[in-house]
Amino acid sequence: MNEIALIGKKIGMTREFYKTGQLVPVTVLKMEKARVIQIIDLEKRGYKAVQLGYGKIKNSKITKSMKGYFAKKNTEAKKKLKEYRVSNIENYKEGNEFGLEIFKDVKFVDTKSKTIGKGFAGAMKRHNFGGLRATHGVSVSHRSHGSTGQRQDPGKVFKGKKMAGHMGDKLRTMQNIEIIKADLDNELLYLKGSIPGSKNSEVLVKKSVKNIKKLTIIEKIEIAEQAKKTPDKKKK
């Protein structure tokens, strides 16, 4: 089940307190259950995968072809469809639903979401440029990016040159984010720290790709408490 992902809505941020007095900022996600719409086997397309559906949508807002597709699968219309490659398709059946229980033994996850859009931004805000001099011949161009090219050869501005332009509103992946806690009854997931995106934006959550050996906050607290209980030999 670690090969699939869930989509949640970013509610906002809060903080979690521990008995040691430690304070940890957390992002709260309202997770949606994913339904298996289609199972793709090796004979059909040459690879094994499952198609999952997320969210609700009115039938009036989808095309006729999609209405027929959902009717054929005997399921309600879904807002988003995503496909995931899996090693064993026998674990999945059409109509099955998956929620937060797939992260039961998972400590770290990867998230994918869109950053907050900032509109058209200058080089100083977008790329942290220093700008031109405040005085000594500089007029009406204090915040400009300066020269962008060379001479007649090559006679052009290279692609990827840091300049003013549209800032934000881009997909960003955050890796190895710690799960602080999961509320199965209310379908809430608490992740350590901040996650890109505005409130009510969609966040895709998947088990961490990198198998890192890192201690969670609870494990660190337990180790610290155990160290206090054990007597120090040096003091004797």
Position 130 in a domain: yes
Domain hosting 127: range is 117-144+164-169
**Distance between CA 76 and CA 99 in Å, rounded?**
17
CA separation, residue 189 to residues 66, 94, 105 (Å): 31, 26, 14
pLDDT of residue 232: 67
- Per the structure, the count of domains in the chain is 1
Q: What single letter denotes the amino acid at residue 106?
A: V
Give residue 111's region: left, alpha or beta (phi > 0; psi -120 to 50): beta
* Other beta carbons within 10 Å of 146: 10
Position 127 in a domain: yes
Average pLDDT along the chain, 236 residues, taken 10 residues at a time: 88 92 94 93 89 92 93 92 91 91 92 96 96 92 91 91 96 95 93 95 94 87 86 62
Position 138 in a domain: yes
Position 137 in a domain: yes
Beta-bridge partners for 108? 178
CB neighbour class for 170 (10 Å; exposed up to 12, middle 13-18, buried from 19)? exposed
Ordered DSSP codes for 145-191: ------BTTB-SPPTT---SEEES--EEEEEEEEEEEEETTTTEEEE
Position 128 in a domain: yes
Nearest CA among 113, 215, 97 for reference residue 172: 113
Q: What single letter denotes the amino acid at residue 206?
A: K
> Residue-wise over 94-104: b if at least 16 C-beta within 10 A, else e?
eeeebebebbe
Q: What single letter denotes the amino acid at residue 216?
A: T
Q: Which run of H or of E encompasses 38?
A: strand 34-40
CB neighbour class for 57 (10 Å; exposed up to 12, middle 13-18, buried from 19)? middle
Nearest CA among 203, 146, 139 for reference residue 177: 203
Residue 63 structure tokens: 């095309």
Position 136 in a domain: yes
Position 191 in a domain: no
Position 176 in a domain: no
pLDDT of residue 150: 84
pLDDT of residue 54: 94
Answer whether 117's CB lies under 8 Å from 109's CB: no
pLDDT of residue 236: 52
